[in-house]
Amino acid sequence: MQTDQTYDFDLFVIGGGSGGVRAARMAAQRGARVALAEAGGVHGSHSDDGGLTGAGLGGTCVNVGCIPKKLYSYAAHFAESFEESHGFGWEGAAPTLNWETLKTNRAKEINRLNGIYSQLLSGAGVTVILQRARIVDAHTVEMTDGTRHTAKSILIATGGRPSVPDIAGRELVVTSNEMFDLPSFPKRLLVVGGGYIACEFASIFNGLGAQVTQLYRGEQILRGFDDEVRHFAAGEMVKAGVDLRLGSDVAAIERVAEGIKVTLQGNPQSKLQENIIVDTILYATGRVPNVSGLGLEALQVKQGKDGAIAVNADYQTSVPSIYALGDVTARVQLTPVALGEAMVLVDHLFGPPAGKAARSMSYQFIPTAVFTHPNIGTVGYSEADARKEFGGITVFKSEFKALKHTLSGSTERTFMKLLVETATDRVVGLHMVGPDAGEIVQGFAVAMKAGATKAMFDSTIGIHPTAAEEFVTMREPVKS
């Protein structure tokens, strides 16, 4: 490609997370002159008060999100596996968790991944600047040390950050960023929130051996998911040992000799209060776009709720030379979505690879998983949304005890649900709560993206004996 020598770079990327790294690397491979700035350095950095100031190369997902969370989820599953093994003839006491070993091994793996990201960028010819960047004008960025760089296009891919409400005792709580490296294992953990991050950490630390209390002020956790999935998952979490308290919130937090005292309250009309003592309080009440200090206000870049950057179909902001993608736009906050958006943007700015059509991004039928215990996997519409969108919906569902648990002694059950548009027979929603739900749903997501009908599901031979085969053997619809 022909580069524009008017500027130092053709593309300057702010943020070294999944979307930023992918955009920078792909653009450089097309021949563009690319720079990427990451405030957290290669491995992430912390402020004097212990807060995370930059996630490091790989962003939240690699450093304090998806990857370490899944590793800790694996760790938590071992406890139940040791217990369940007795039903299969294994004898003897289960080993105990060494928190320091888990932290150390996780850190080694994350450092390895940081190095891979660094090598990918340098190998593609990207200029990596490990400093914080601020946008000065439509084509200029200024680094922490005062140096300035110009670029034909600027991409903001700074992701999101945890948000903690302004409450008394706020200094005593932690966010998901700090949970992986707590100095000592929290034997008594309070999780505040009902979204997927809160539910995942509640499940994980419950599995690791903590006494977990989870508070959510709403009527049920996992708002936005299918209602039956929400209720079923909540029930399984409670069976596993999580003390889930709905319609409940924090009234006050204070340090006491025995730990941290938390005063709980019910709904605003209730005067009933209760005190509990915990070792750690995790606030997982939401994430907001990470836009502080970027200089957007001075440039009058249009922003929405919580500072989310408004973009058009080409990820272009209200300033034509500035683009944004990923969590900072608050569209769909998932790592694979940011990766997909990055590929679309690179094709838009620099053209698709030779002989290939420009990519497009569809936000319909995006599969997702929640790594609670048991896992949740879902793609497509919830039942409520499907009825609003399509009108006539036929529902198929199944609940059963997995084959493994016929000997394990576990009371865990699996739930599956299919939503079919009655008029076209197209499957428009697929949901699962059970072991490896994410792995199973990923494959079905391809079929749904291709427009699979219920008849196609019915004609597909199942793999026996598996839980996944239940999706192709549901024959009788739920009577409305």
Active site residues: 464
- Is 365:380 a contact under the CB 8 Å cutoff? yes
| Angle (CA) 352 358 360, round 5° | 135
- Is 36:121 a contact under the CB 8 Å cutoff? yes
DSSP class of residue 170? G
DSSP class of residue 316? B
Count of alpha carbons within 13 angstroms of residue 321, beta-carbon side: 18
Residue type, 29: Q
In sign, the C-alpha dihedral spanning 200, 206, 207, 210 is positive
DSSP class of residue 303? B
- Is 149:92 a contact under the CB 8 Å cutoff? no
**DSSP reduced 3-state for 153:** strand
Token pair listed for 97: 């968790």
- Is 326:337 a contact under the CB 8 Å cutoff? yes
Nearest to 283 by CA among 194, 363, 344: 194
In sign, the C-alpha dihedral spanning 154, 155, 156, 157 is negative
Residues near 464 by Cβ (< 8 Å), separated by ≥ 6? none
Token pair listed for 280: 């750690």
Alpha carbons 321 and 301: distance in angstroms, whole number: 11
CA distances from 12 to 34, 126, 346 (A): 6, 10, 12
**DSSP reduced 3-state for 84:** helix
Token pair listed for 227: 């209602």
Token pair listed for 334: 């998932």
Instruction: Report cis status (omega within 30 of 0) of the bond before 465.
Output: yes
Token pair listed for 93: 């006491």
Alpha carbons 125 and 34: distance in angstroms, whole number: 8
